[in-house]
Structure 1
């Protein structure tokens, strides 16, 4: 079962410390939300977890130092959905999703039947099978977000890290996206997602990591972590907390 363990991870970009001394452990079978206001260091942290940027401290993937693994080995273990990707090439949606199989292919080899089956499964799960032959650069923002999610799902890696996977999605597809991430975790996968919607995080996540000013300031069950005091301190807001069967957190006002 895959795991990611960090010890005192610190990242400096442009002479400024963006992530400070973060130690945590992510294990299979859990959906972990990474929360915090804009500029808190969330995206920088997940990029460090993948070894995409230089950092101090250690990141271990399944007990092995990330620095000892090849990019291909990491990509087979951890699928990554970056935020805000721009599509430059007018390829079909099906070919875009097929890029998720690259970590499994030898140089100059073509996808085989198993790869094509993984591509079809990913498109069906992301609700874009009907877009397979559309040109990816002509998709709407929401359609593009779902196609890129399908590309990450096509890797069929034991871990998935998604950075703002709900951006540009309408409410129905936001819920569907969270259901997909929830299903990945329930199937034994390790799933970490940078999120801004507090209610969806509270409803679907087993655990949330809350960041502020580059530091990890809270880690635990969202029902315990997302308190009025923390929301006021980290986000500078007051919020309504629903008491029904499903968690509900509605921002009301800025703290004056």
Structure 2
């Protein structure tokens, strides 16, 4: 079980306040969608939570100040899938996914049978087991996205932060990816995903945090948050909201 709590988090890059005064409390067993238009500060927020950017305010993981935890301790508690990673080394998919086990390994140690089982299970869950012996740099964009998700799952951490995990995926794999993340939360994990697809967020997430110009515009259940007024204010769009969490963006507000 894991919790992530932030108080008055702020990030300034150059002269620009990219994230301002963000407070949040995320619990295990929850699927959180971080939403907002381009440039709203979503990726900056999750990177600051992990200590990857200088910031003001405080972050606690499992009640402990994040600053008191080593990088390996943070990595064992929270797996991180950044957006838009470029693969430079022509390693096999299996070896790439196995890198997810590094937080658990001592220097120069080899994978144990338990590590190999974790890698195989992650590849199966992300539907990339059939790619195990392919060279990672030769994959399509969608295949690469699923392999990188498998690497994050291989960590076996109680929490997962994924930044745009659906990028490059076709509709079937987008749904499959959201089902996988939903199952991770249902099994007791904390899942946080930066998303652009409002329909999938409304359908699968327990909670959504909407950023606009670096501040929290709304935070709550999709049904309470993704209202016509909020979508008009933050995104400048109209949308149809139906039953069972159905949300369909319709048009720009001109």
Query: Could you state the TM-score of these two structures normalised by the residue count of structure 2?
Result: 0.99
Partner of 2:241: 241
Tell me how far 1:81 sits from its aligned partner. 0.3
Tell me how far 1:242 sits from its aligned partner. 2.1
Tell me how far 1:199 sits from its aligned partner. 0.8
Pairing 1:59-98 to 2, within 5 Å after superposition:
59-98=59-98
Partner of 1:219: 219
Tell me how far 1:27 sits from its aligned partner. 0.5
Pairing 1:60-139 to 2, within 5 Å after superposition:
60-139=60-139
SS at match of 1:224: helix
Tell me how far 1:240 sits from its aligned partner. 1.5
Alignment deviations for residues 181-204 of structure 1 (CA, whole Å, 9 cap, x no partner):
001100100110000111110110
Alignment deviations for residues 88-141 of structure 1 (CA, whole Å, 9 cap, x no partner):
000000000000000000000010000000000000000000000000000000
1:199 aligned onto 2:199: yes
- Number of matched pairs: 254
Tell me how far 1:253 sits from its aligned partner. 1.2
Residue segments in structure 2 that go unaligned for 5+ positions in a row: none
CA distance in 2, matches of 1:37, 1:173: 23
CA distance in 2, matches of 1:255, 1:210: 19
CA distance in 1, matches of 2:72, 2:168: 29
Partner of 2:248: 250
Runs of 4+ with deviation above 2 angstroms: none
Tell me how far 1:247 sits from its aligned partner. 2.1
Partner of 2:177: 177
Query: Could you state the TM-score of these two structures normalised by the residue count of structure 1?
Result: 0.98
Pairing 1:125-164 to 2, within 5 Å after superposition:
125-164=125-164
1:33 aligned onto 2:37: no
CA distance in 1, matches of 2:15, 2:62: 31
1:190 aligned onto 2:162: no
Tell me how far 1:26 sits from its aligned partner. 0.6
